């Protein structure tokens, strides 16, 4: 069963929070995990489990249940990408926090009026606050799913941001990724009803065009994922898949090239060849570092 770990982050730790989010890491001092008997809980977290960070709540020195109606100023939901490990390299400036996990931020919510989670989640965060930020574990992701259901829908093109899931946990992470995609589409393309594919140049209804990461999302930092320069409109008529798998790439001049990967079959080579030589539509200078990464790591071209 997928698990959820809750960690409270107090106001003085705001800088550490931002650093951790940018680096895709969360960490603890070793005595925090030992003193709070939290090490076993953190060790049980696996890739794909969730980590929820609650920031800026009220006084935690209250009786159990005292946070049921409490308001948080910020909630971050992340997926664990690397289970507990130890490292000494400098990430945070005030301490080493050598006990670490890797995380991928899926939702970062901070409305002006504040927000609250379900009673179980809020109690877990209250306990974490009283344990110097140790993780408090809850089985399942029911409360996270309910929280996501309560968020305003994100609409952009054909993405509704609505919740649709089978069973308790099967699509909680999928829905959060869908919301991120919708946000990026709206930020990058606005409310356009037609988009020009950056690769083939065809003008298509938005439902046929994807907001594609140039540098793969899995390899990009949290900052890079949210950079509009890392997004291009790539159509579902074949361009998105050809680029995603490195059958075509963009050279330093902004021109599309076919890679040796396209020679897997004669028909694939022919499709890539028809696109080769065309300039990328809407190219900007700040996209070159991302295209450079794609050339080296996906198309395997220097």
> pLDDT tens across 7-19, in order?
999 999 999 999 9
Please report the pLDDT score of residue 288 as a whole number.
Answer: 96
> With bands split at pLDDT 50, 70 and 90, how would you rate the model's confidence at 156?
low
Q: How far apart are CA 287 and CA 298, in angstroms?
A: 16
Q: Please determine, for residue 164, whether its predicted confidence score (pLDDT) is greater than 90.
A: no
Residue 265, C-beta contacts closer than 8 angstroms, at least 6 positions apart: none
Residue 285, C-beta contacts closer than 8 angstroms, at least 6 positions apart: none
| Long-range pairs, 169-176, Cβ under 8 A, ≥24 | 169/1, 169/2, 169/140, 169/141, 169/142, 169/145, 172/2, 172/50, 172/141, 172/144, 172/145, 172/148, 173/48, 173/50, 173/79, 173/106, 175/145, 175/148, 176/77, 176/79, 176/106, 176/107, 176/148
Q: How far apart are CA 63 and CA 85, in angstroms?
A: 34
Average pLDDT over residues 98-122: 93
Q: Please determine, for residue 116, whether its predicted confidence score (pLDDT) is greater than 70.
A: yes
Average pLDDT over residues 130-138: 94
Average pLDDT over residues 153-179: 54
In the structure encoding, which two tokens stand for residue 207, read together? 């439902």
Please report the pLDDT score of residue 210 as a whole number.
Answer: 93
> With bands split at pLDDT 50, 70 and 90, how would you rate the model's confidence at 36?
confident
Q: Please determine, for residue 69, whether its predicted confidence score (pLDDT) is greater than 50.
A: yes
Mean pLDDT score of the chain, rounded to an integer?
90
Please report the pLDDT score of residue 215 as a whole number.
Answer: 96
Average pLDDT over residues 11-28: 94
Please report the pLDDT score of residue 217 as a whole number.
Answer: 87
pLDDT tens column, 215-256 = 998 888 878 888 999 999 999 999 999 999 999 999 999 999
From the list 139, 224, 233, the residue with the least C-alpha distance to 194 is 233
């Amino acid at each position: 069963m997928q698990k959820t770990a809750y960690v409270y982050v107090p106001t003085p730790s705001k800088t550490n929070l931002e650093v951790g989010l940018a680096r895709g890491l969360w960490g603890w001092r070793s005595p925090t995990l030992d003193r709070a008997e939290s090490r076993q809980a953190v060790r049980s977290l696996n890739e794909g489990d969730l980590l929820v960070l609650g920031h800026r709540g009220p006084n935690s020195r209250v009786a159990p249940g005292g946070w049921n109606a409490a308001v948080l100023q910020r909630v971050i939901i992340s997926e664990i990408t690397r289970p507990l490990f130890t490292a000494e390299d400098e990430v945070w400036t005030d301490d080493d926090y050598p006990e670490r996990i890797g995380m991928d931020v899926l939702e970062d919510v901070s409305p002006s009026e504040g927000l609250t989670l379900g009673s179980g989640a809020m109690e877990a965060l209250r306990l974490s606050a009283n344990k110097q930020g140790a993780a408090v574990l809850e089985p399942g992701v029911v409360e996270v799913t309910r929280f996501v259901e309560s968020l305003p829908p994100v609409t952009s093109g054909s993405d509704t941001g609505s919740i649709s899931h089978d069973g308790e946990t099967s699509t909680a992470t999928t829905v959060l990724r869908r919301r991120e995609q919708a946000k990026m589409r709206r930020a990058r393309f606005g409310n356009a009803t037609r988009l020009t594919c950056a690769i083939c140049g065809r003008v298509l209804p938005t439902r046929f065009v994807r907001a594609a990461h140039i540098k793969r999302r899995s390899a990009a930092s949290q900052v890079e994922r949210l950079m509009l320069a890392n997004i291009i409109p790539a159509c579902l008529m074949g361009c998105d898949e050809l680029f995603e798998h490195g059958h075509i790439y963009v050279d330093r001049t902004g021109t599309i090239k076919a890679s040796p990967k396209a020679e897997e079959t004669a028909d694939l080579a022919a499709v890539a060849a028809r696109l080769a030589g065309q300039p990328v539509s809407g190219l900007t200078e700040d996209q070159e570092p991302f295209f450079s990464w794609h050339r080296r790591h996906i198309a395997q071209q220097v």
